[in-house]
Structure 1
Amino acid sequence: MKTGAKGPDLLRENVGVLKSRMGAFFPGSHVIFRGHDLHTELKDMDWVELYMFGITGRRFSRAQLRLLHSLWTYTSYPDVRLWNNRVAALAGSVRSTGNLGVAAALAVSEASIYGRGIDMRAIDFLLRTRKCLAEGANLEMCIREELDTHRSIAGYGRPLINGDERNQHLLALNKELGLGEGPYLKLAFEIEQFLFEGRLRMKMNYGGLAAALVADLGFSPRDYYLFSFPAFLAGMQPCLIEASEHPEGTLYPISCSDILYEGRPRRPWRRKGRTDEEQT
């Protein structure tokens, strides 16, 4: 809803008014989901199809949906050492609830280096670079500018190993589904070739490949961000369950002797208004 009002006038316009183009629940009757009856018109959608329809308002082909499913499946690692899985597992270890533990794990998945933050940078870089190339820039200029700004190229390189075990499987599936090589996927490979043949020797990681594939599906950065929300979810539940089956508090215990403390030395606690003699 667009309006020229601001401040109190804007609030006054919305008192007692709730308008939505997304949907509504009519108790005992029906539910509208983006203009369609959820229980009749959309009843045959699978969950991912409905999820993406809710985000984009678009329908996707079966092949495209299969690819989107796999973008989640291929990155759901049940490894408690991973930063977000560790949160879920620690919640299980201290007997928190599953919902709280997994919600916290999903929250820290917004990490700027390993999570949603780098995903957003990856798709944004691809979108900006293709636009710059269309306006006459060359690829080297785009990459140099990105490196000058961020000192890295989102979607390329990996701290542990220069390569990504997921890429070959995702590319094989993309080929099997007949989805082809769109302009952003081609661009992603051109960037990889430039980086790998240069002094950086970096290969494309899963973040770069996934960003290229969804950009070719017409995703905006916000579409991609919202789509990616459950990407790690299937790997979190096993970590929480396993930790909850072990004795409470035994996941990653740390001995006091293992803590290197360089702060102030041990000192007495003083209650307000009392002298040192009174404290003792």
Structure 2
Amino acid sequence: MIDTGLVRALVDGQFPQWAGLPLRRMAQAGSDHVIHRLGDDLAVRLPRHDGAIGQAEKEYAWLPRLAPHLPLAIPEPVAVGRPALGYPWPWAVSRWLPGEVATVEQFGESIQAATELAGFLAALQAIPAGDAPSPDGRSLAARDAETRAAIAEVSAVFDAASMTRVWEAALSAPEWDRTPVWFHGDFHTGNLLAVDGRISTVIDFGGLGAGDPAKDMMMAFTLLGPGPRAAFREALAVDDATWARGRGWALASGLNAYTSYASIDARVAAQTTRQIAQAIS
């Protein structure tokens, strides 16, 4: 169990310069990390499971190099903590980021938000990626069996024919055959912060890598409605094949979250219901 007492002991033992700062757990921290605010200016993030390990070191190595080239703020890593006191993985300390998680209600119909997010991806993709880390995770093709199983499982809720059509179009789309470009890797609504009605920050770069940018098209289906989605695609000049693969990523990730969490979490149920519906519309 990752409780505040453990986090306090880890911080005090490894970073005594922060031992006197107040520490409080943040209630909404997502499914991958436990997050505590440390004083006014720092955040401590500890992976909840082995699927989230490696992010602390990746962000510490790469985000300072990417940040100067990007039009939106991204996390500013300060330190990487070591496994200790029974906690098994590296963990991160970064600057505290102000803002609230962006919502569909705020930005789903915003052309401005759509073009700003496209601009962020365009700037990210323009950064030379010659020494970028290799992509993490499985390909679309590797998710075929589980995605088809999920389609069958939710066929009473969503149109199975439409889901199958979108999925098969994604699998049959030509693969990315151009120079690898940087991608965020988990570019969706929950990884955006907003301040004063504007998207301010992109967070959670655990999936950062270089290669096919299609996965980052998920944002178009998790946040944006039809009009802004079209503006997002036009601003990025996304070709048909990349768009089809991106729609497939949105469908597959939505189905995975829906079948795993919708029955126990009303917020996830609402978010993934919308995501799946937008992906097949």
TM-score scaled by structure 2? Answer: 0.24
More strand by share: 2
Which structure's CA Rg is the greater one? 1
> Looking at both structures, which has the greater relative contact order when contacts are Cα pairs under 8 Å and sequence separation is at least 6?
1
